[in-house]
Structure 1
Amino acid sequence: MFYMAVHMLLVSKLALFDLGWCFFYLGFLLFLPIGTPIVLQLVLGFVTGLLMDIFYDTGGVHAAAAVLLCYLRPWVLRLLTPRDGYETQDSVNVHQMGGQWFVVYMALLIGLHHTAFFLLELGSFQAFGLTLVKIVVSTLFTGLTLLIIQLIFFPTKRRNR
Protein backbone atom coordinates (compact mmCIF):
# COMPACT_ATOMS: atom_id res chain seq x y z
CA MET A 1 0.00 0.00 0.00
CA PHE A 2 2.96 2.30 0.65
CA TYR A 3 4.00 2.20 -3.02
CA MET A 4 0.49 2.97 -4.24
CA ALA A 5 0.01 5.81 -1.73
CA VAL A 6 3.32 7.44 -2.64
CA HIS A 7 2.51 7.01 -6.32
CA MET A 8 -0.93 8.58 -6.03
CA LEU A 9 0.12 11.44 -3.76
CA LEU A 10 3.55 12.38 -5.10
CA VAL A 11 4.84 10.53 -8.14
CA SER A 12 1.72 10.74 -10.32
CA LYS A 13 2.52 14.42 -10.94
CA LEU A 14 6.03 13.71 -12.29
CA ALA A 15 6.56 13.61 -16.04
CA LEU A 16 9.66 14.01 -18.18
CA PHE A 17 8.77 16.33 -21.07
CA ASP A 18 5.43 14.52 -21.54
CA LEU A 19 7.40 11.51 -22.77
CA GLY A 20 8.21 9.59 -19.59
CA TRP A 21 6.25 8.71 -16.49
CA CYS A 22 7.34 6.96 -13.33
CA PHE A 23 5.16 3.99 -12.43
CA PHE A 24 6.38 3.88 -8.84
CA TYR A 25 3.68 1.44 -7.73
CA LEU A 26 5.39 -1.32 -9.73
CA GLY A 27 7.95 -1.54 -6.92
CA PHE A 28 5.32 -3.32 -4.83
CA LEU A 29 4.95 -6.06 -7.45
CA LEU A 30 8.61 -6.28 -8.44
CA PHE A 31 9.96 -6.50 -4.90
CA LEU A 32 7.65 -9.27 -3.68
CA PRO A 33 9.47 -12.23 -2.10
CA ILE A 34 10.68 -14.70 -4.69
CA GLY A 35 8.69 -17.55 -3.15
CA THR A 36 5.34 -15.74 -3.48
CA PRO A 37 2.79 -18.09 -5.10
CA ILE A 38 1.85 -17.17 -8.66
CA VAL A 39 -1.88 -16.98 -7.89
CA LEU A 40 -1.22 -14.48 -5.10
CA GLN A 41 1.01 -12.46 -7.42
CA LEU A 42 -1.70 -12.34 -10.09
CA VAL A 43 -4.35 -11.26 -7.57
CA LEU A 44 -2.05 -8.59 -6.14
CA GLY A 45 -1.22 -7.41 -9.66
CA PHE A 46 -4.89 -7.17 -10.58
CA VAL A 47 -5.88 -5.33 -7.39
CA THR A 48 -2.93 -2.94 -7.67
CA GLY A 49 -3.68 -2.24 -11.34
CA LEU A 50 -7.38 -1.84 -10.65
CA LEU A 51 -6.68 0.73 -7.93
CA MET A 52 -4.46 2.65 -10.35
CA ASP A 53 -7.17 2.42 -13.02
CA ILE A 54 -9.72 3.85 -10.61
CA PHE A 55 -7.30 6.65 -9.64
CA TYR A 56 -6.39 7.52 -13.26
CA ASP A 57 -9.74 6.52 -14.86
CA THR A 58 -7.92 4.40 -17.44
CA GLY A 59 -10.42 1.59 -17.91
CA GLY A 60 -8.31 -1.46 -17.12
CA VAL A 61 -5.01 -0.59 -18.83
CA HIS A 62 -3.04 -0.59 -15.57
CA ALA A 63 -4.69 -3.82 -14.41
CA ALA A 64 -3.92 -5.63 -17.67
CA ALA A 65 -0.28 -4.52 -17.72
CA ALA A 66 0.21 -5.30 -14.00
CA VAL A 67 -1.26 -8.79 -14.38
CA LEU A 68 1.03 -9.37 -17.36
CA LEU A 69 4.01 -8.28 -15.25
CA CYS A 70 3.02 -10.68 -12.45
CA TYR A 71 2.47 -13.50 -14.95
CA LEU A 72 5.90 -13.03 -16.52
CA ARG A 73 7.77 -12.45 -13.23
CA PRO A 74 8.30 -16.17 -12.37
CA TRP A 75 9.58 -16.80 -15.92
CA VAL A 76 12.07 -13.96 -15.64
CA LEU A 77 13.14 -15.18 -12.19
CA ARG A 78 13.73 -18.66 -13.64
CA LEU A 79 15.66 -17.16 -16.53
CA LEU A 80 17.90 -15.26 -14.09
CA THR A 81 18.29 -18.01 -11.48
CA PRO A 82 21.79 -17.92 -9.99
CA ARG A 83 23.95 -21.04 -10.13
CA ASP A 84 23.20 -21.83 -6.47
CA GLY A 85 19.48 -21.09 -6.87
CA TYR A 86 17.33 -18.89 -4.71
CA GLU A 87 16.64 -19.39 -1.02
CA THR A 88 13.01 -19.47 0.08
CA GLN A 89 13.26 -16.24 2.09
CA ASP A 90 15.06 -14.32 -0.68
CA SER A 91 13.44 -11.20 -2.00
CA VAL A 92 14.39 -9.07 -4.94
CA ASN A 93 17.16 -6.94 -3.50
CA VAL A 94 19.99 -5.23 -5.36
CA HIS A 95 22.36 -5.81 -2.44
CA GLN A 96 21.71 -9.57 -2.26
CA MET A 97 21.33 -10.36 -5.96
CA GLY A 98 23.91 -7.98 -7.36
CA GLY A 99 23.63 -4.95 -9.57
CA GLN A 100 23.80 -6.71 -12.93
CA TRP A 101 21.11 -9.25 -11.98
CA PHE A 102 18.91 -6.47 -10.61
CA VAL A 103 19.24 -4.22 -13.67
CA VAL A 104 18.42 -7.07 -16.08
CA TYR A 105 15.44 -8.14 -13.91
CA MET A 106 14.09 -4.59 -13.76
CA ALA A 107 14.72 -3.81 -17.43
CA LEU A 108 12.93 -6.94 -18.63
CA LEU A 109 9.86 -6.67 -16.42
CA ILE A 110 9.45 -2.90 -16.49
CA GLY A 111 10.05 -2.84 -20.25
CA LEU A 112 7.43 -5.54 -20.85
CA HIS A 113 4.96 -3.81 -18.52
CA HIS A 114 5.44 -0.44 -20.20
CA THR A 115 5.21 -1.94 -23.68
CA ALA A 116 1.88 -3.55 -22.83
CA PHE A 117 0.65 -0.45 -21.02
CA PHE A 118 1.45 2.08 -23.77
CA LEU A 119 0.27 -0.16 -26.62
CA LEU A 120 -3.02 -0.82 -24.81
CA GLU A 121 -3.36 2.88 -24.07
CA LEU A 122 -2.68 3.79 -27.70
CA GLY A 123 -5.03 1.16 -29.09
CA SER A 124 -3.32 1.09 -32.48
CA PHE A 125 0.05 1.32 -34.18
CA GLN A 126 -0.53 4.79 -35.70
CA ALA A 127 1.92 6.76 -33.54
CA PHE A 128 4.24 3.84 -32.92
CA GLY A 129 7.46 5.93 -32.98
CA LEU A 130 6.25 8.27 -30.26
CA THR A 131 4.93 5.32 -28.27
CA LEU A 132 8.31 3.60 -28.52
CA VAL A 133 10.00 6.74 -27.15
CA LYS A 134 7.48 6.82 -24.28
CA ILE A 135 8.20 3.15 -23.51
CA VAL A 136 11.97 3.66 -23.40
CA VAL A 137 11.92 6.93 -21.43
CA SER A 138 9.33 5.65 -18.95
CA THR A 139 11.21 2.36 -18.48
CA LEU A 140 14.42 4.26 -17.69
CA PHE A 141 12.61 6.71 -15.39
CA THR A 142 10.77 3.99 -13.47
CA GLY A 143 13.81 1.69 -13.30
CA LEU A 144 16.13 4.42 -12.06
CA THR A 145 13.63 5.54 -9.43
CA LEU A 146 13.13 1.99 -8.12
CA LEU A 147 16.90 1.37 -8.13
CA ILE A 148 17.41 4.47 -5.98
CA ILE A 149 14.67 3.27 -3.61
CA GLN A 150 16.42 -0.12 -3.36
CA LEU A 151 19.81 1.43 -2.67
CA ILE A 152 18.50 3.76 0.01
CA PHE A 153 15.81 1.81 1.84
CA PHE A 154 16.46 -1.93 1.44
CA PRO A 155 18.79 -3.86 3.77
CA THR A 156 22.32 -4.52 2.57
CA LYS A 157 22.88 -7.84 4.31
CA ARG A 158 20.99 -11.11 4.26
CA ARG A 159 19.37 -11.89 7.61
CA ASN A 160 20.57 -15.05 9.30
CA ARG A 161 17.84 -17.33 10.58
Structure 2
Amino acid sequence: MNNSLGIRHIVQFVLFVTLQILLMDNLVLFSTGFSFIYIAFLLFLPLQINRVLLLFLGFIVGFAVDIFYDTMGIHAAASVLLAYLRPMVLNLLTPRDGYDTNDSVNIHIMGWRWFLAYALTLILAHHTAVFLLEIFSLEGLSAAVPKILLSTLFTGVVMVILQLLFFSLKRANR
Protein backbone atom coordinates (compact mmCIF):
# COMPACT_ATOMS: atom_id res chain seq x y z
CA MET A 1 0.00 0.00 0.00
CA ASN A 2 1.67 3.20 -1.08
CA ASN A 3 1.68 6.36 1.01
CA SER A 4 -0.96 8.30 -0.97
CA LEU A 5 -3.25 5.29 -0.92
CA GLY A 6 -2.86 4.99 2.85
CA ILE A 7 -3.57 8.68 3.38
CA ARG A 8 -6.63 8.46 1.13
CA HIS A 9 -8.04 5.61 3.22
CA ILE A 10 -7.33 7.40 6.49
CA VAL A 11 -9.26 10.40 5.15
CA GLN A 12 -12.11 8.09 4.07
CA PHE A 13 -12.18 6.49 7.53
CA VAL A 14 -12.42 9.85 9.28
CA LEU A 15 -14.98 11.16 6.76
CA PHE A 16 -17.31 8.14 6.90
CA VAL A 17 -17.22 7.81 10.70
CA THR A 18 -17.77 11.57 11.10
CA LEU A 19 -20.69 11.53 8.64
CA GLN A 20 -22.19 8.56 10.48
CA ILE A 21 -21.99 10.24 13.85
CA LEU A 22 -23.00 13.77 12.87
CA LEU A 23 -25.40 13.30 9.98
CA MET A 24 -26.69 9.77 9.59
CA ASP A 25 -27.55 9.32 13.26
CA ASN A 26 -30.31 11.88 12.76
CA LEU A 27 -31.41 10.65 9.32
CA VAL A 28 -33.99 7.91 9.89
CA LEU A 29 -36.47 6.72 7.29
CA PHE A 30 -40.00 6.16 8.68
CA SER A 31 -38.56 5.50 12.16
CA THR A 32 -37.43 2.15 10.79
CA GLY A 33 -34.70 2.63 8.17
CA PHE A 34 -31.22 3.58 9.27
CA SER A 35 -28.23 4.30 7.06
CA PHE A 36 -24.91 3.01 8.32
CA ILE A 37 -22.64 4.94 6.00
CA TYR A 38 -19.49 4.04 7.93
CA ILE A 39 -19.42 0.59 6.32
CA ALA A 40 -18.60 2.31 3.02
CA PHE A 41 -15.06 2.50 4.37
CA LEU A 42 -14.88 -1.31 4.39
CA LEU A 43 -16.80 -1.78 1.17
CA PHE A 44 -14.63 0.62 -0.83
CA LEU A 45 -11.24 -0.72 0.28
CA PRO A 46 -9.00 -2.19 -2.47
CA LEU A 47 -9.93 -5.67 -3.66
CA GLN A 48 -6.49 -7.12 -2.91
CA ILE A 49 -6.22 -6.04 0.75
CA ASN A 50 -4.68 -8.38 3.32
CA ARG A 51 -7.43 -10.31 5.17
CA VAL A 52 -5.95 -9.78 8.62
CA LEU A 53 -5.68 -6.04 7.97
CA LEU A 54 -9.27 -6.04 6.70
CA LEU A 55 -10.53 -7.71 9.89
CA PHE A 56 -8.54 -5.25 12.01
CA LEU A 57 -9.95 -2.28 10.07
CA GLY A 58 -13.45 -3.73 10.44
CA PHE A 59 -13.01 -3.85 14.20
CA ILE A 60 -11.55 -0.32 14.35
CA VAL A 61 -14.32 1.30 12.30
CA GLY A 62 -17.06 -0.55 14.20
CA PHE A 63 -15.47 0.24 17.56
CA ALA A 64 -15.23 3.94 16.64
CA VAL A 65 -18.98 4.01 15.95
CA ASP A 66 -19.70 2.01 19.11
CA ILE A 67 -17.87 4.60 21.19
CA PHE A 68 -20.14 7.39 19.99
CA TYR A 69 -23.36 5.35 19.85
CA ASP A 70 -22.75 3.61 23.21
CA THR A 71 -23.76 0.26 21.69
CA MET A 72 -21.34 -2.04 23.56
CA GLY A 73 -19.65 -3.68 20.57
CA ILE A 74 -22.62 -4.29 18.30
CA HIS A 75 -21.17 -2.28 15.40
CA ALA A 76 -17.68 -3.72 15.96
CA ALA A 77 -19.03 -7.27 15.77
CA ALA A 78 -21.13 -6.54 12.68
CA SER A 79 -18.22 -4.77 10.97
CA VAL A 80 -15.86 -7.67 11.66
CA LEU A 81 -18.51 -10.00 10.20
CA LEU A 82 -18.69 -7.80 7.09
CA ALA A 83 -14.88 -7.81 6.83
CA TYR A 84 -14.83 -11.60 7.24
CA LEU A 85 -17.48 -12.15 4.55
CA ARG A 86 -16.07 -9.62 2.06
CA PRO A 87 -13.38 -11.89 0.52
CA MET A 88 -15.94 -14.70 0.16
CA VAL A 89 -18.42 -12.43 -1.61
CA LEU A 90 -15.63 -11.13 -3.85
CA ASN A 91 -14.72 -14.73 -4.74
CA LEU A 92 -18.35 -15.49 -5.59
CA LEU A 93 -18.57 -12.41 -7.82
CA THR A 94 -15.18 -12.83 -9.53
CA PRO A 95 -15.44 -11.98 -13.23
CA ARG A 96 -14.50 -14.67 -15.74
CA ASP A 97 -11.09 -13.06 -16.34
CA GLY A 98 -10.51 -12.44 -12.62
CA TYR A 99 -9.77 -9.15 -10.95
CA ASP A 100 -6.91 -6.94 -12.09
CA THR A 101 -4.43 -5.99 -9.41
CA ASN A 102 -5.43 -2.35 -9.86
CA ASP A 103 -9.19 -2.97 -9.67
CA SER A 104 -11.11 -1.23 -6.94
CA VAL A 105 -14.71 -1.24 -5.86
CA ASN A 106 -16.04 1.22 -8.39
CA ILE A 107 -19.48 1.11 -9.97
CA HIS A 108 -18.01 2.45 -13.24
CA ILE A 109 -15.31 -0.24 -13.47
CA MET A 110 -17.21 -3.27 -12.22
CA GLY A 111 -20.71 -2.39 -13.44
CA TRP A 112 -24.06 -1.87 -11.77
CA ARG A 113 -24.99 -5.55 -11.38
CA TRP A 114 -21.67 -6.48 -9.81
CA PHE A 115 -21.70 -3.48 -7.46
CA LEU A 116 -25.31 -4.00 -6.34
CA ALA A 117 -24.78 -7.73 -5.75
CA TYR A 118 -21.57 -7.03 -3.82
CA ALA A 119 -22.85 -4.11 -1.76
CA LEU A 120 -26.35 -5.36 -0.98
CA THR A 121 -25.11 -8.81 0.08
CA LEU A 122 -22.60 -7.38 2.53
CA ILE A 123 -24.93 -4.61 3.72
CA LEU A 124 -27.66 -7.18 4.39
CA ALA A 125 -25.25 -9.35 6.41
CA HIS A 126 -24.03 -6.32 8.39
CA HIS A 127 -27.50 -4.98 9.13
CA THR A 128 -28.82 -8.41 10.08
CA ALA A 129 -26.01 -8.74 12.60
CA VAL A 130 -26.57 -5.22 13.98
CA PHE A 131 -30.30 -5.58 14.52
CA LEU A 132 -30.21 -9.18 15.78
CA LEU A 133 -27.48 -8.30 18.26
CA GLU A 134 -29.51 -5.27 19.29
CA ILE A 135 -32.62 -7.29 20.18
CA PHE A 136 -30.53 -10.31 21.30
CA SER A 137 -33.52 -12.63 21.10
CA LEU A 138 -35.69 -14.22 18.46
CA GLU A 139 -38.84 -12.82 20.07
CA GLY A 140 -38.27 -9.41 18.51
CA LEU A 141 -37.49 -10.87 15.09
CA SER A 142 -40.77 -9.65 13.61
CA ALA A 143 -39.84 -6.09 14.53
CA ALA A 144 -36.25 -6.51 13.33
CA VAL A 145 -37.03 -7.81 9.82
CA PRO A 146 -38.56 -4.54 8.55
CA LYS A 147 -35.64 -2.62 10.09
CA ILE A 148 -33.14 -4.92 8.40
CA LEU A 149 -34.78 -4.71 4.98
CA LEU A 150 -35.51 -0.97 4.96
CA SER A 151 -32.10 -0.14 6.38
CA THR A 152 -30.39 -2.34 3.79
CA LEU A 153 -32.22 -0.55 0.97
CA PHE A 154 -31.56 2.88 2.48
CA THR A 155 -27.86 2.18 2.99
CA GLY A 156 -27.63 0.63 -0.49
CA VAL A 157 -29.07 3.76 -2.10
CA VAL A 158 -26.65 5.93 -0.12
CA MET A 159 -23.73 3.71 -1.29
CA VAL A 160 -24.77 4.09 -4.93
CA ILE A 161 -25.03 7.86 -4.49
CA LEU A 162 -21.56 7.92 -2.89
CA GLN A 163 -20.15 5.90 -5.79
CA LEU A 164 -21.73 8.17 -8.39
CA LEU A 165 -20.60 11.35 -6.62
CA PHE A 166 -17.08 10.49 -5.50
CA PHE A 167 -15.90 7.68 -7.77
CA SER A 168 -16.05 9.42 -11.12
CA LEU A 169 -15.94 7.83 -14.53
CA LYS A 170 -12.70 9.71 -15.18
CA ARG A 171 -10.96 7.87 -12.34
CA ALA A 172 -12.34 4.55 -13.61
CA ASN A 173 -10.65 5.09 -16.99
CA ARG A 174 -7.15 5.54 -15.51
Calculate the TM-score normalised by the size of structure 2: 0.89
Question: For residues 147 and 159 of structure 1, what CA distance do their matches in structure 2 show?
Answer: 19
Q: 1:64 aligns with which of 46, 53, 77?
A: 77
Higher helix share goes to which structure? 2
Q: 1:96 aligns with which of 109, 113, 136?
A: 109
Structure 1: segments with no counterpart, 5+ residues: none
1:87 matched residue in structure 2: 100
Question: For residues 133 and 155 of structure 2, what CA distance do their matches in structure 1 show?
Answer: 19
Question: For residues 156 and 43 of structure 1, what CA distance do their matches in structure 2 show?
Answer: 30
C-alpha displacement of 1:155: 2.4
C-alpha displacement of 1:62: 0.2
- 2:158 matches 1:145: yes
Moved over 2 A (4+): 157-160
Q: 2:136 aligns with which of 123, 130, 134?
A: 123
Calculate the TM-score normalised by the size of structure 1: 0.96
**1:33-65 CA deviation, whole Å, 9 max, x = no partner?**
001111111010000000110000000000000
1:74 matched residue in structure 2: 87
1:6 matched residue in structure 2: 19
2:50 matched residue in structure 1: 37
Question: For residues 104 and 68 of structure 2, what CA distance do their matches in structure 1 show?
Answer: 28
C-alpha displacement of 1:18: 1.5
Question: For residues 9 and 124 of structure 1, what CA distance do their matches in structure 2 show?
Answer: 30
2:32 matched residue in structure 1: 19
Mapping of residues 99-110 of structure 1, within 5 Å = 99-110=112-123
